[in-house]
Amino acid sequence: MEEIFPANLPSAQLGWPAASVQACRTIGDSLVSLLFPVSCIVCQQSIEQFTWSPVCPQCLEAPRPWEGTECAQCGLFLQGPVALHQTTLCGLCRRNIFRFEQARSFGSYEGTLRTLIQRFKYDGLRPLAKPLGKFLADAVRRLGTSSWDLILPVPLHIRRQRQRGFNQSALLAVQVSKLLKIPMGSSDCVRIRDTRPQTGLRAAERRKNVAGAFHVPHPERLRALRVLLLDDVLTTGATVNACAQALLEANVQAVWVATLARANLTSSDIL
C-alpha cells in the first residue's frame, strides 16, 4: 500500500491539507528544538525523540536497584556479612541510634542516578520527578510492610525552599502517592530551623546539626498514624531520624523511611 503523504514529495506538490500538516510538523519540530536541548545532559548523546526532560530514554532507564546486602533496619548498603559482624544490623543500628522502624533506598548515590538527582534538585528539572518517583516507589515496596496511613516528604526550611523554588522531596512524594495510592500530607511536619548544610559533617555532627529542627504543628491530625517519610538521598540518616523523632513526639504510631539513593559512608560513620 502506498503512503498517503510520501515523505520525499515536495510540499508544493501536496494538496493543501497535506501541506498544512507538513508545515505544522515543521513548526512543531522547530519549537521542540528551541525549547529542548538536542543532547542528553547525562551522556551528551543526541535525543532523537520528544521528551519532557533533557535526558535520553537510555539514561532514564540506566539506574539499577541495589541487590546486595543491606542493614535490616536502616538499609545501609554493605559488601557482605563480615561488615555486619555476623548480625543483620549495622554498627549504628546495633547502638539503637535510629527512631524509625526501617529505611530502604532504591540505589547507590553514584553514576547516572546521582547525576539525575543533582539535575533534578539543583537545576530545577521538575519533569524528572516522574521517573525518579518510580524508582522511589520501588524502594518503598522493599520495606517490610505495605500499610501506611500517610506519606510525608522531609520538609525544607521556608528560606531554603524559596531559594530553590520547590521541595524536591515533596515532588517525589506526589508521584509515590499516585503510584501506591497512599494519602500525602503537606504541612503536617515543618522545618523550624534553617540548619547548615550537612555536607562535610561527620555522623555525630550531622545528628547535632538537625536535632530539634522539625516540628509537628497539629499533632492531633497524626495521632496513631503509620507514616511513610520520603527523601531524595540518605547519608548517615541524621535528617530523617530527626524528622522521625518529631513525628513520634507527636504520637504517630511508627515511622518508615524510603529514599531514592544511599550515599557511601566511611568506616567511622558506620561503626
Q: Look at 54 and 225; give whichever has higher pLDDT.
A: 225
Would residue 4 count as lying in a domain? no
pLDDT for res 260:
97
Please check whether residues 159 and 264 belong to one and the same domain: yes
- Phi/psi at 255 (5° precision): -130, 135
The whole-angstrom separation of Cα 14 and Cα 23 is: 11
Please check whether residues 113 and 235 belong to one and the same domain: yes
CA pseudo-torsion sign 249, 251, 254, 256: negative
56-60, 83-87, 199-203: range with lowest mean pLDDT: 83-87
- Grid look-up 505495605 returns 146
pLDDT for res 195:
73
Please check whether residues 114 and 242 belong to one and the same domain: yes
pLDDT for res 19:
47
- Phi/psi at 171 (5° precision): -65, -40
Would residue 9 count as lying in a domain? no
pLDDT for res 205:
73
Q: Look at 186 and 126; give whichever has higher pLDDT.
A: 126
- The DSSP letter of residue 221 is G
Tally of structural domains, the chain:
2
Would residue 2 count as lying in a domain? no
Please check whether residues 90 and 213 belong to one and the same domain: yes
CB 176 within 8 A of CB 151: yes
The CATH number of residue 122's host domain is 3.40.50.2020
CB 195 within 8 A of CB 160: no
**pLDDT tens-digit profile of 116-132?**
999 999 998 999 999 99
Please check whether residues 54 and 80 belong to one and the same domain: no
**Last-in-domain residue among 5, 29, 62:** 62
CB 221 within 8 A of CB 255: no
Would residue 7 count as lying in a domain? no
Please check whether residues 142 and 229 belong to one and the same domain: yes
Mean pLDDT taken over the chain: 82
- Grid look-up 530523617 returns 240
Alpha-carbon 9 to chain mean position:
48
- Grid look-up 503509620 returns 226
CB 145 within 8 A of CB 256: yes
CA separation, residue 180 to residues 151, 227, 261 (Å): 10, 14, 19
Please check whether residues 130 and 228 belong to one and the same domain: yes
- Phi/psi at 101 (5° precision): -70, -45
Q: Look at 5 and 140; give whichever has higher pLDDT.
A: 140
Query: Amino acid identity of 92?
Result: L
Q: Look at 10 and 64; give whichever has higher pLDDT.
A: 64
Please check whether residues 40 and 96 belong to one and the same domain: no
- Phi/psi at 190 (5° precision): -125, 160
Please check whether residues 33 and 110 belong to one and the same domain: no
Would residue 6 count as lying in a domain? no
**85: domain range?**
71-270
The whole-angstrom separation of Cα 267 and Cα 157 is: 31
Would residue 153 count as lying in a domain? yes
Would residue 5 count as lying in a domain? no
**pLDDT tens-digit profile of 198-250?**
666 666 677 767 777 889 999 999 999 999 999 999 998 999 999 999 999 99
Please check whether residues 35 and 149 belong to one and the same domain: no
Please check whether residues 132 and 245 belong to one and the same domain: yes
DSSP H or E stretch at residue 262 = strand 254-262
Please check whether residues 195 and 141 belong to one and the same domain: yes
Would residue 1 count as lying in a domain? no
